[in-house]
Structures are given as C-alpha cells and as structure tokens.
Amino acid sequence: MNVLFVCDPLSSFHTEKDSTFTMMREAQRRGHGVWACTTADLYWQSGDRVSANMHSISLTGHALDWFSVVATHNRALADMDAVLMRKDPPFDNEYFYATHLLSQAEREGAKVFNRPQSLREHPEKLALMEFAEFASPTLVTRNPQAIREFHALHQDIILKPLDGMGGMGIFRVKADGLNLGAIMESLNREGSTSVMLQKFLPAIAQGDKRVLVINGQAVPFALARIPQGGEVRGNLAAGGKGVAQPLTERDWQIAKAVGPVLAARGLLLVGLDIIGDCLTEVNVTSPTCFREITDQTGCNVPALFIDALEHCLAGPS
C-alpha cells in the first residue's frame, strides 16, 4: 500500500512529538510505501487528474536526519492507495483551495482521509456548536454589543479567534472586565471579525484533555494539557504540560455520542478537547498527541490509526 501524506514541510517536523511522523513510522513498519508532499505541491492541469510533485521517503530511525528521499515523481493522487490530509491549521484560503483539489481527486478515485468535504464543513471551533448539549455556554458572534452582554451574563469568559491553533489568540476576561475593550479591538476588529466566547471553566487547572477518536472509537487514554506558570492555556504549544490519563466516564460519554456521527461523515481521525465535563472544541484538520499518549501509557495510538486506515481501505468484509 502506498500512502501519501499531505503535510507541512518535512524539514519542519519535530519528531519527538509529531503525530504525522508516528503515522509514517507505523506505516513503514508494516511495509507500506510512505510518500509526502505539501499543499503547495498539489496541482490540477486541464484535461488531467489532480496530481502532486511527491517524494517517496524512507525513515532512517535517526533523530536528526530522520528521513531520506528515495525518489521524486509527479503522480496523480488517485494512483495512491490512501491520501492523508495532515496539513496543520490555519484553515486559510490556501487550505480551503487544497480541500477542493482533494475533493476533485476523490471524484477521480482517490481515498482521502479526513474527507475534504467534511474538513470544509467542520471548522474546528464552529463544529462544537452541533454538540451543544456537551458544551459550556458558548457564543459565536461579530457583534460587539453581544460580546459585552455575554460577558455581563457569565462574568468570567474566554475569547478566541475562529481560525486559531495551539492556543493562539486566546484571552480570559474576568468579572472586572479589565482589557475587554482592547481584546475586542484585537480579535473582533470593531465588528468585522467573528469570535468565539465561552464561559470560563475552572477545571482547566486539571488540564485541557485531548481525546482522540479513530473511526468513531475513542482511544482509551487522553492527554491532559495542564497550564503552567499562571497561564490560562493548556496547549502544549503555549507551554502546557502533557499528562496522559485514562478517559473518565464523562469523556467516554462524549466520545461515544460524537465519534460515530463524525466517522460517518468521513472523519477518520478527530480530536475532542474536553475541560472538566465540557466539550470545548472538535479538531478535524491534523489532530495530534499520538506521541505523548503512546510514550506515557504504552497504548500504541499510531497502530490503532493505521489499523483503522487499513480497515477503511479494505472495504466491507
């Protein structure tokens, strides 16, 4: 089986924590061909199929020079056995256009995971709103007055941009409203940009849990990303400490309700963010935390993922 990873440049990988790297390593361990390209390598010429300038790579097992390029070819995506869209956010125009190219590749016979149409239809912040019964009070708006009213009602709130990742642009405003105006100027830009507001959850002190769901089934361990040094953000990219722990009863309840719904839409891999008992985000672009959970618990998350991929490609038994 030949697997194409559409991802960030390989030179940018931090293999000690990169989930895409662990997928590649497991795929190679099973004898599958590992290929890689960036979204910039995708192209579609009139009268031809969606293709990419892609590299066949071999993982070396070394920490620094972790891969070698075996060959480089221009190939149609439909000629690959599987295409994994693992480009990190932001979900900007170029990401959006890439999903359209991947949708065309699907029409030509490519098997793309996560499904491009579902990537477009489940922006990571907004996707939460479909499952409001599991969420804390949340508002998405670009109306400055609505923002102020939400703060007046809930007193202690979180504001975040809809296109952020890794904790970028997240602010907390307490009951005194200190800096709310300045934060609104930064995020809301006088009503020109939509933002998400959520009631602050004190349980963040115990961590922002990432629950991985693979083909509708939850991985039995979550990674609790615990804020450090007075930070409100638990994201690893913002300095949070990652501690793997078994799923709670509430984690299982949320995953069992949300996971199968999203799997049926072609979302093979989903990352649910849970604080306390509340679902706070639904991540579908390039969910991570494989490495940390595997290293700390021995639960082989990459193997679970490649198992699910092989099962999907095999089709109905």
* Domains contained in the chain, CATH given: 2-114 (3.40.50.20), 137-200 (3.30.1490.20), 203-314 (3.30.470.20)
Please enumerate, as own/partner, the contacts of 165-170 that have beta carbons within 8 Å and a separation of 24 or more. 165/88, 165/89, 165/90, 165/124, 165/237, 166/235, 166/236, 166/237, 166/238, 167/233, 167/234, 167/235, 167/237, 167/238, 167/240, 168/237, 170/232, 170/233
Q: What is the pLDDT of residues 45-56, one digit of tens each?
A: 999 999 999 999
Q: What is the gyration radius of the CA atoms in the chain, in angstroms? A: 20
Decide: 212 and 290 in contact? Cβ < 8 Å.
Answer: yes
User: What pLDDT is recorded for position 238?
Assistant: 59
User: What pLDDT is recorded for position 229?
Assistant: 65
Residues 6+ apart with CB under 8 A from 46: none
Amino acid at 236: L
User: What pLDDT is recorded for position 168?
Assistant: 79
Distance from chain centroid for Cα 125: 11
Distances (CA, A) of 124 to 68, 106, 162: 33, 22, 8
User: What pLDDT is recorded for position 7?
Assistant: 98
Would you name the residues annotated as active-site residues? 125, 160, 210, 225, 233, 273, 281, 283
Decide: 19 and 286 in contact? Cβ < 8 Å.
Answer: yes
User: What pLDDT is recorded for position 287?
Assistant: 95
54 pairs with which residues across the strands?
A: 73
- What stretches in the chain show pLDDT beneath 50? 317
Q: Is 124 left (phi over 0), alpha (psi -120 to 50) or beta?
A: alpha
- As given in the structure block, the two tokens for residue 130 are 């479909």
Q: What is the pLDDT of residues 140-188, one digit of tens each?
A: 999 999 999 999 999 999 999 988 776 778 999 999 999 999 999 999 9
User: What pLDDT is recorded for position 125?
Assistant: 87
User: What pLDDT is recorded for position 236?
Assistant: 67
User: What pLDDT is recorded for position 316?
Assistant: 66
Amino acid at 185: E
